[in-house]
Amino acid sequence: MHYKLIVQYDGTDFLGWQLQPQGPTVQGALESAVQRLFGAPARVTAAGRTDAGVHALGQVACFRALKAMPVADLQRALNALTPDGIAIAAVEVVADDFDPRRHASSRTYCYRLWRPRWRSPFWHRYSWHVCAPLDVDALRTAAAALIGEHDFTSFQAADCDADHAIRRVLRSDFSVEPEQLVYTVEATAFVRHMVRNLIGTLIEVGDGTRSVAQFRDLLGQRDRRQAGPTAPAQGLCLMAVTYER
């Protein structure tokens, strides 16, 4: 039986999604729970391999079990067997050939900026504290320039092993919320650290360090050294993964 999970997690205490020998990961916690429940090891795969400290409200994961279990019972059991920082929001049976990564048509992330001068004891785990004045109109103009198909080499991690950095962005905008500024980006796929590198550079547009035109030029320069710093992981959250079928 092939099960699809919608997984939510607070990434603060995990070394990311993917199994790591040196510490706890979301994949490791889920595989441990599945093994305890079914009495046999199972590989849990996901739509996206989030980095250490990155959160998720809509991660999609799959695993195969040797025996069937009602989805409501499976959801309840997995939630009982996983750490408090992980929750299974939904479970469904899917086709044997369903692949959460390859079959995804888009992924949506948001990045939260905490704007007041004081640090929030509640939001500091889920946002980047940036209290400097920011030009929201400039941020929105720069963000909109990312929509469409571009080469994001300037915004990929130096150790990214992707064959190429050409990605298609479907949505890229900023919204103002009480005490926060939220960047939302949807794309068919992302290169490693793409959103965090975009945010680190967009902040430089917002504070006047670089112009919108200079930001646009980075897409053509294809040089990571010319872009801004990598924003901290804790502000980033995988919101949703969409599928056409």
Is the confidence at residue 217, as pLDDT, over 70? yes
Q: Which pLDDT score, from 0 to 100, does residue 41 have?
A: 93
Of the candidate ranges 8-12, 139-143, 153-157, the one whose mean pLDDT is the lowest? 153-157
Contacts of 217 (CB under 8 A, 6+ apart): none
Per CATH, which fold does 2-93 belong to? Alpha-Beta Plaits (3.30.70)
The CATH 3.30.70.660 domain(s) of the chain lie at: 105-243
The DSSP code for 53 is T
Q: Which pLDDT score, from 0 to 100, does residue 244 have?
A: 86
Q: Which of 51, 137, 151, 163 is catalytic?
A: 51
Query: Per-residue pLDDT averaged across 96-108, rounded?
Result: 96
Which tens digit of pLDDT belongs to each residue from 191-211?
Answer: 999 999 999 999 999 999 999
Q: Could you please report the per-residue DSSP string of 23-41?
A: S--HHHHHHHHHHHHHSS-
Our answer to whether residue 51 is catalytic in this structure is yes
Q: Which pLDDT score, from 0 to 100, does residue 164 have?
A: 78
Q: Is the pLDDT higher at 210 or at 161? A: 210
The CATH 3.30.70.580 domain(s) of the chain lie at: 2-93
Is the confidence at residue 160, as pLDDT, over 90? no
Which tens digit of pLDDT belongs to each residue from 37-83?
Answer: 999 999 999 999 999 999 999 999 999 998 999 999 999 999 999 99
CATH of domain 105-243: 3.30.70.660
Which tens digit of pLDDT belongs to each residue from 235-244?
Answer: 999 999 999 8
DSSP E strands in 45-195: the ranges are 45-46, 55-64, 86-93, 104-114, 128-129, 148-151, 166-177, 180-187
Average pLDDT, the chain: 95
Is the confidence at residue 4, as pLDDT, over 80? yes
Q: Which pLDDT score, from 0 to 100, does residue 165 have?
A: 81
Give the burial string for 71-84 (b: 16+ CB within 10 Å, else e): beebbebbeebbee
Q: How confident is the model at residue 162 (pLDDT cuts 50, 70, 90)?
A: low
What SS3 string covers 153-198?
HHHCCCCCCCCCCEEEEEEEEEEEECCEEEEEEEECCCCCCHHHHH
Is the confidence at residue 142, as pLDDT, over 90? yes
Query: Per-residue pLDDT averaged across 162-176, rounded?
Result: 90
**pTM to 2 decimal places:** 0.95
